[in-house]
Structure 1
């Protein structure tokens, strides 16, 4: 059974690195969570490495710049691994062809920039759907619109046999008090309609392989039994960590705040029912990262 803890410091001595989710754990899309910042600073002060592991569909540099803009200080983390970078690596090796139809917003265009880790990368061109060899989805055109608006295009894409590369497996995210759809919701719809979707972010293995390489790049290679995965996603962060044999810390006050009855801490009985329904058992649970 999951152990409800009061602070990260309660268990931090057991770990040399954390894979920490961003949205819902460190910030809400608009501002940082002060207690989370201090918890990560304290972990670093004890010698731990903080890798921010995010399903953001963008390269790590724009993600770092976004964190700067909303006030997440750079002294609380060491390195970033993004779903976007993991998916970009696959795209640039030709996973969905060279002519792709891009589903996403204008701010996701850095997804198509060159990547230093990829040798002999294929040349990617964004084209209309009827000319495409594959699909790259970084998110909905309109994050607040119902995903069903994509059915006509997806029917054509499925008929053409196009694969959809999903740069962010998250289904939803909370921006402040507003809930928005993510690329994972579109990939899920495409799969339900009979299309083929390829995933590279949490909970799928490629992003964890990238995270381990990032730790090695900064001189902090860490065995799996000394890594703690922190997140609020019961379909992304927690099964991803469990699948990699990494201990997990479930932040119940994020996406599952209502279901777990979280005020400052989760209601134990509601948390137990929620985890039973999810058929998952995180190593630890806490209301908010602190």
Structure 2
């Protein structure tokens, strides 16, 4: 059974590093969450390392700029690992071919900027779907529209056996008070239609490999038993941590706020029922990161 805590400091001394989700934990898609920022700043002052591990399809430099815009100060974190970085690495190694159809908004075009981390990255060319060897999905064209509406557009791609690279496995996020669909919802639909979707963010292994590399680059050797993952998605943050053998702190006041009846703190009975339904067992739960 999960242990409900009221502050990160109650358990943080048992961990040398944190893998922290962003959306719903540190910011709400509009502005920083002050208590979360303060908690991370306090943790870093004790010598702990904070790696922000996000399913954003953006390169880490783009996420860093976004954090500045949201008001998340740089002294609240040490490094960033994004699903965008992990997925870009795979794309430039040709996992879905070299001529690709970009399924996503124009704001995600930085995904296709040259990648200098590989010795011999392939040249990736964006083409129309009819000419594509594969699909790169950074999100739906319209995050407010039901992804099911894309079924007719995707049917020819499924018939041709095109693989879909999903740069963000999240199904939904909450931008302030508005819930939006993410690339994971499109990839889920594509798989249900019989297509082959490839995932590179949480809960899949590649992004955790990247997060460990980012942590190691800080000059700190931290075993998995001394890492705590923090997030509000049971199917991404918590499932991913479990798969990697890492303890997890579930933020119940994020995506599952209504299901767990979370105000400042979750309702214990509602929380237990929710985690049982989701077959999830985080070591700890907190209403909001503080």
Measured against aligned partners, the alpha-carbon deviations of 1:225-280 in whole angstroms (never above 9, x if no partner) come to 00000000011000000100000000000000000010100000000000101111
Match of 1:79 in 2: 79
**How far has the Cα of 1:222 moved from its partner?**
1.3
Measured against aligned partners, the alpha-carbon deviations of 1:75-133 in whole angstroms (never above 9, x if no partner) come to 10000000000001110000000000001111111111122221211100000000000
**How far has the Cα of 1:221 moved from its partner?**
2.8
TM-score, scaled to structure 1: 0.99
C-alpha distance in 2, partners of 1:122/1:262?
Answer: 47
Q: Does residue 1:23 correspond to 2:18, yes or no?
A: no
Q: Does residue 1:104 correspond to 2:90, yes or no?
A: no
Give structure 2 stretches of 5+ with no counterpart: none
SS in 1 for 2:285: strand
C-alpha distance in 1, partners of 2:221/2:189?
Answer: 38
Q: Does residue 1:160 correspond to 2:153, yes or no?
A: no
C-alpha distance in 1, partners of 2:92/2:6?
Answer: 43
**How far has the Cα of 1:220 moved from its partner?**
2.1
- Structure 1's consecutive aligned runs of 4 or more residues displaced over 3 angstroms after TM superposition are none
C-alpha distance in 1, partners of 2:236/2:97?
Answer: 27
The aligned runs of 1:166-185 (5 Å cut-off) are 166-185=166-185
Match of 2:198 in 1: 198
Equivalenced residues, count: 290
Contact 1:212 1:221 in 2 (8 A): no
The aligned runs of 1:131-146 (5 Å cut-off) are 131-146=131-146
Provide the aligned C-alpha RMSD in A: 0.6
The aligned runs of 1:33-48 (5 Å cut-off) are 33-48=33-48
Contact 1:230 1:249 in 2 (8 A): yes
SS in 2 for 1:230: strand
C-alpha distance in 1, partners of 2:245/2:124?
Answer: 35
C-alpha distance in 2, partners of 1:216/1:92?
Answer: 24
C-alpha distance in 2, partners of 1:227/1:117?
Answer: 26
Give structure 1 stretches of 5+ with no counterpart: none
